[in-house]
Copies of this chain bind each other. A is one copy, B any other.
Amino acid sequence: MSTPVTAAILVIGDEILSGRTKDKNIGTIADVLMAMGIDLREVRIVPDVEEEIVAAANALRRRYTYLFTTGGIGPTHDDITADSIAKAFGVGISERPDAIAMLLERIKPEDLNEARRRMARIPDGADLIRNDVSKAPGFMLDNVVVMAGVPAIMQNMLDNVAPRLAGGTRMVSRSIDAAGLPEGAYAAGLGALAKAHAEVSIGSYPSFSPDGFRNQIVVRGRDEARVAAAAAAVETLLADLRGDAVPV
Contacts and interface: CB of A to CB of B under 8 A. Distances in A.
Contacts of A203: 14-15, 48, 76, 78
Interface in A106-124: 107, 111, 113-116, 118-119
B20 A218 contact: yes
A237 interface: no
A97 to B, nearest CB: 18
Each complex incorporates copies of this chain amounting to 2
Contacts of A153: 208
Contacts of A194: 77-78
A232 interface: no
A45 interface: yes
Given A187-B118, A194-B78, A40 B20 contact: no
B47 A44 contact: no
B184 A116 contact: yes
A204 B22 CA distance: 16
Contact of A44 (B44, B115, B173): B44
Interface string A130-146: 00011000000000000
Contact of A45 (B42, B116, B183, B205): B42
A75 interface: yes
A242 to B, nearest CB: 15
Given A75-B184, A77-B195, 4 more contacts: A15-B218, A43-B43, A75-B183, A77-B194
9 contacts: A11-B43, A17-B40, A18-B173, A23-B27, A42-B52, A74-B187, A76-B203, A111-B184, A115-B184
